[in-house]
Chain A
Amino acid sequence: MGGSALARYIVRRLLQTIPVVLGVVVLNFLLLQLAPGDLATVLAGEAGGAPKEYIDQLRQRFGQDQPILVQLYNYLRNLLVLDLGYSFRQSAPVLDLLLKRLGPTLLLMGATLLISLLVGVAMGLLAALWVRTWKDNVISVAAIIFYATPLFWIGLMLILVFSIKLDWLPTSGMEDVVAFNEGFARVVDIGRHLVLPTITLSMFYLALYARLMRASMLEQRGLDYVTTARAKGLRERQIITRHVFRNALLPVVTMAGIQFGSLLGGSVVVESVFAWPGLGQLAYQSLFARDFNLLLGIFFLSACLVVIVNLVVDVIYVLLDPRIRIG
């Protein structure tokens, strides 16, 4: 497979994402229309009431007196230049607010993805190797329980045990701001704050990956190529590591990509439990401030992130599995 074929594939996949992004934009616009009270009435309400002429004047300034299709066109045009509107609650452009919160969220996502994949794949692999023994049962039951655990609850339980009772780890935030840590000390501090939110968010996904990995390993192990490998005298260890493991990993990679959107949703809950200063917490705050511009901006950015991650996963998939033909 040549580099240019891969490039063409990426371009084609990028083009395919356009309808999704457009769909989210239109959905956002419709939701804004559905939201109770427009910006003008909200601002007037903030000021403690205003005459109707003033509200009309405000609407005119925001372009809200235009026909709805013109408004949609303006909204689309603004988004094209990444103008996501202005948050009147936080007195800042929505885009600035989002970019400030993106880093912590990506850090939490990345750590969660890493932990849940590593632990989940290891658990599934071991369960499959020990299939129908008590060890397999222990792993499978643990996975079923993790799978049913509400994220926000396990987060609070971890705080109760490790922060309140044992006092090992901090309860909330991303770093100890009054400590003014720098350099390596700061990294350690952030790492310590990261432990509990990551475990909380990982629980569900590692259970999912463990179950998928186990099923996938067992399925692959029964296929013909394994018999062939065994017939040509490969040792069991080589068969597992060289052949079965690699093939069994593919569905897990796909699932990890599919689950990214739900991971972002889960981060809203986890970030609000741990006061982690990311997009999820911002969503939670904007919810109660009734700051729809900001909330929909977060939704838009999250959808874009999901689309990008799906694209990356597809490319990884092509690189991992030479059987998939592109172009």
Chain B
Amino acid sequence: MKTFWQRFLGNPRVIIGVGWLTVVLIVALFANFLAPRDPFSIVASPFIRPSSAYWLGTDSLGRDVVAGLMHGARTTLLIAVFATLVAVAFGTLIGAVAGYYGGLIDDVLMRITEFFQTIPSFLFAIVLIAVLSPSAMNLVIAISVVSWPPITRVVRAEVLSVKSREFVQAAVVAGQRDSAILLTQVLPNTLSPLIVTGSLLVATAILVESALSFLGLGAPNQMSWGFMIGAGRSFLRDAWWLVTVPGIAILLTVLAINLVGEGLNDALNPRLADL
């Protein structure tokens, strides 16, 4: 039997995904260092084609596309990761409480979860941002509000299967408080599906953030990939690279996260991997 790491890193798709994500992470972390100027600052004349001075050219206002991409990586990743963390925290809380207590609490909480799964989520995110006004904080709120239900379902299902096991009953008999049992006995056992679902959620969050920024609902004064595509779309005919390049960045990043997430799933559930 191979270990988790052997299965995980022995998967060529995971290596490709991890490779690209490492590049994006480094760029996002060191954006201020690699492109010290404000990405909104005008550095040259507009619509310069990709050249040695400006690798990916300049946009309609003469802003450097490479600098935009680097700072955009940072904005997009930060918002997506924070939104996912909030969604995972909230979803885990609801799912754990629903699964552990069961009965009426479970019924009510699951009806609410179903409700949030039924309403058109992207439209709901748009409505939320429109009402709350666009900002990085509100993007995080809107994206997490529409992404927590799958987490809740995963955690609830796991809690239901774990809570009748003997080690949990032992903890009950030993007099541990509910919160302690949930945190120390039940939740650690839900970790692996939670990690898989959570990692795939980051990819969805990036897509939602980009789409919102593309529509002009992104964080103001923060460069992001979706915003760059939105700003470039009017000049598609003459400067196609302004739209093409940030889109490829989104595509590759989302793809990389999906590959890593699926690799995690296969490595954590080796019996299902053959399917």
Tell me which residues from 110 to 125 in chain B have a Cβ below 8 Å from any Cβ of chain A: 111, 115, 117-125
Q: Which of B119, B217, B240, B243 contacts A306 (CB 8 A)?
A: B119
> Are A265 and B214 neighbours in the complex by a CB distance under 8 Å?
no
Q: Could you list 13 A-B pairs, sorted by A, with CB under 8 Å?
A: A19-B111, A24-B119, A145-B251, A148-B251, A150-B251, A153-B229, A261-B119, A261-B120, A265-B126, A299-B124, A302-B123, A306-B118, A307-B118
Which of the candidate stretches A4-12, A31-39, A228-236 sits at the interface with the other chain? A31-39
Tell me which residues from 220 to 270 in chain A have a Cβ below 8 Å from any Cβ of chain B: 258, 261-262, 264-266, 268-269
Q: Is A96 an interface residue (CB 8 A)?
A: no
Tell me which residues from 18 to 51 in chain A have a Cβ below 8 Å from any Cβ of chain B: 19-20, 23-24, 27, 31, 34-36
Tell me which residues from 162 to 204 in chain B have a Cβ below 8 Å from any Cβ of chain A: 203
The CA of A152 and the CA of B244, in the complex, are separated in Å by 11
Q: Is A117 an interface residue (CB 8 A)?
A: no
> Are A160 and B127 neighbours in the complex by a CB distance under 8 Å?
no
Chain A residues with CB below 8 A from B125, complex form: 265
> Are B215 and A287 neighbours in the complex by a CB distance under 8 Å?
yes
Q: Is A95 an interface residue (CB 8 A)?
A: no
Q: Which 6 A-B pairs have the closest CB atoms?
A: A265-B122, A153-B247, A148-B255, A148-B254, A261-B120, A264-B120
> Are A265 and B120 neighbours in the complex by a CB distance under 8 Å?
yes
> Are A302 and B247 neighbours in the complex by a CB distance under 8 Å?
no
Q: Mark B251-272, 1 if CB is under 8 A from A, else 0.
A: 1001100110000000000000
A residues whose Cβ falls under 8 Å from a Cβ of B: 19-20, 23-24, 27, 31, 34-36, 144-145, 147-154, 156-157, 159-160, 164, 215, 218-219, 258, 261-262, 264-266, 268-269, 272-273, 283-284, 287-288, 290, 292, 295-296, 298-299, 302-303, 306-307, 310
> Are B251 and A266 neighbours in the complex by a CB distance under 8 Å?
no
> Are B247 and A287 neighbours in the complex by a CB distance under 8 Å?
no
> Are A268 and B251 neighbours in the complex by a CB distance under 8 Å?
no
Known: A20-B118, A156-B236, A303-B120. A144 touches B214 (CB 8 A): no
Tell me how far the C-beta of A15 lies from the nearest C-beta in chain B, rounded to whole angstroms: 14
> Are B130 and A295 neighbours in the complex by a CB distance under 8 Å?
yes
Given contacts A154-B247, A261-B118, A264-B122, 18 further A-B contacts (CB under 8 A): A144-B258, A145-B255, A148-B258, A150-B229, A150-B251, A153-B251, A156-B243, A157-B243, A164-B237, A265-B121, A266-B122, A268-B215, A269-B211, A295-B130, A299-B119, A299-B124, A302-B119, A302-B120
The CA of A160 and the CA of B240, in the complex, are separated in Å by 8
Q: Is B1 an interface residue (CB 8 A)?
A: no
> Are A268 and B122 neighbours in the complex by a CB distance under 8 Å?
yes
The residue of chain B having its C-beta at the shortest distance from the C-beta of A305 within the complex is B120
Chain B residues with CB below 8 A from A262, complex form: 120-122
The CA of A149 and the CA of B229, in the complex, are separated in Å by 13
The CA of A266 and the CA of B125, in the complex, are separated in Å by 12
The CA of A268 and the CA of B130, in the complex, are separated in Å by 14
Tell me how far the C-beta of A292 lies from the nearest C-beta in chain B, rounded to whole angstroms: 7
The residue of chain A having its C-beta at the shortest distance from the C-beta of B132 within the complex is A34
Q: Output the residue of A153, A156, A265 with the most chain B CB within 10 A.
A: A153
The CA of A73 and the CA of B232, in the complex, are separated in Å by 46
Q: Which of A34, A144, A164 contacts B131 (CB 8 A)?
A: A34
> Are A35 and B131 neighbours in the complex by a CB distance under 8 Å?
yes
Chain B residues with CB below 8 A from A295, complex form: 126-127, 130
> Are B131 and A31 neighbours in the complex by a CB distance under 8 Å?
yes
Q: Which of A145, A147, A287 contacts B126 (CB 8 A)?
A: A287
Tell me how far the C-beta of A258 lies from the nearest C-beta in chain B, rounded to whole angstroms: 8
Chain A residues with CB below 8 A from B128, complex form: 31
The CA of A290 and the CA of B237, in the complex, are separated in Å by 30
Chain B residues with CB below 8 A from A147, complex form: 258
> Are A160 and B121 neighbours in the complex by a CB distance under 8 Å?
no
Known: A148-B255, A215-B275. A153 touches B120 (CB 8 A): no
The CA of A219 and the CA of B127, in the complex, are separated in Å by 40
Chain A residues with CB below 8 A from B35, complex form: none
The CA of A272 and the CA of B259, in the complex, are separated in Å by 30
The residue of chain B having its C-beta at the shortest distance from the C-beta of A155 within the complex is B233
Q: Which of B118, B119, B203, B236 contacts A160 (CB 8 A)?
A: B236
Tell me which residues from 204 to 263 in chain B have a Cβ below 8 Å from any Cβ of chain A: 207, 210-211, 214-217, 226, 229, 233, 236-237, 240, 243-244, 246-247, 250-251, 254-255, 258-259
Known: A153-B243, A156-B229. A299 touches B130 (CB 8 A): no
Q: Is B133 an interface residue (CB 8 A)?
A: yes
> Are B236 and A36 neighbours in the complex by a CB distance under 8 Å?
no
The residue of chain A having its C-beta at the shortest distance from the C-beta of B130 within the complex is A287
Tell me how far the C-beta of B267 lies from the nearest C-beta in chain A, rounded to whole angstroms: 17
